[in-house]
Structure formats: structure tokens, C-alpha cells
Copies of this chain bind each other. A is one copy, B any other.
Amino acid sequence: VELLDKLKQFDLPTTLRICAGTDGSVTYLLEVMTHNKVEVITRCQKVITATDTIAKMLMIMPGEPVNHREVMLQVQGIPYVLACSLAPVSTMPQCIKDDLMQADIPIGRILREHKLEIRRDILNIEIKSGEKIFNDIPVLSREYVIIHDEKILIWINELFPVDDRWDV
């Protein structure tokens, strides 16, 4: 409810507010919203070693392997979301390991296909300006974790450009 109040403060297009507020899959909402398939453009995909900061975020031990992924979700060439994710490799359920460490499948689709029971806990939502990624357009940034089996499956930071591309 606190985050909801926060979302209210920003002057956002309704569809962006909904995508940024959902506790469901953003990929799926984008597809419903645009009537089109979401394309995933991979900008980065590698296994890193958890620093102290990352270990705290993921509730793992420093030094453990973490899958780092940065993908742009776009529809018909228009980018809607840049999603950066960190996923602990050691505790990752075997059934989704291959898909999750591949670059080109959106996380929402992976969870749905493997019928995982999860919850999404939204941690923070804020407006940032001066982000180069969307050509200096202000971005709405939200952080959340996907919890499975009482462990953090993935930490995600999504950046949404705030402009009229959301008026669909």
C-alpha cells in the first residue's frame, strides 16, 4: 500500500502505472497490452561472483556464483523495459536452471512454463532522471524479488521509460 501511494505521486500513463505496479508478470502484461509478442534483446549474460552487497541483497554468502542478466523487453522494435536481474546459481531449482541461464527467455515466461509457485515482493519504486539507457528520458525504476521455496530466486530491477510510448 505504501508503494501504491508512491506510484500515485508520479504523473504516469495508466498502462505504465499498471505494469510498474503489478505483482504478476510484466512480460505478460506487455503482451496483453500491445497485442504482440515481447522480444528479448540480451545486453549482458554472465555468471559473476557475489560481492558483499550482492550477497546481502540475495541473502546468500559472498563469493557464491550469481547469474547476471540484462535484457531489453521490446515490442515491434519499441523498447519498454530494461530488466537487470541477479539470480543465485546454487539454490536455483534444477528444472529452470537451463532456461534461466539462457539469455533470451523472459523470466515471466520461464516461471509460467515450469509452473513454479512464487511470490513477488516489490522493494522499491522511484523516478530517476539522467539515465543514458533511454536517451535521457526519465525512467521509472522498480526493484523486486521473486521468492520461491522461501528463498530469493531472482532479484530484479526494471527500468521503464516515462513517455508517450505507453499510450496504447
What is A's interface to B at a CB cutoff of 8 Å?
4, 7-8, 14-15, 17-18, 21-25, 28-29, 31-33, 35, 108, 111-112, 115-121, 147-150, 168
Q: Which residues of B contact A35 (CB under 8 A)?
A: 8
> Contact between A14 and B117 (Cβ–Cβ < 8 Å)?
no
CB distance from A46 to the nearest CB of B (A): 28
CA gap between A33 and B29 in the complex, in Å: 13
A17's nearest neighbour on chain B, judged by CB, is B32
Q: How often does this chain occur in the complex, in copies?
A: 2
Q: Which residues of B contact A33 (CB under 8 A)?
A: 14, 17-18
Given that A15-B18, A33-B18 are contacting pairs, would A23 and B112 also be in contact in the complex, using a CB cutoff of 8 Å? Answer: yes
Q: Pick from B18, B148, B168: contact of A117, CB below 8 A.
A: B148
CA gap between A120 and B22 in the complex, in Å: 14
CA gap between A29 and B18 in the complex, in Å: 6
A31's nearest neighbour on chain B, judged by CB, is B4
Q: Pick from B21, B31, B118: contact of A28, CB below 8 A.
A: B21
CB distance from A144 to the nearest CB of B (A): 12
Q: Which residues of B contact A25 (CB under 8 A)?
A: 22-24
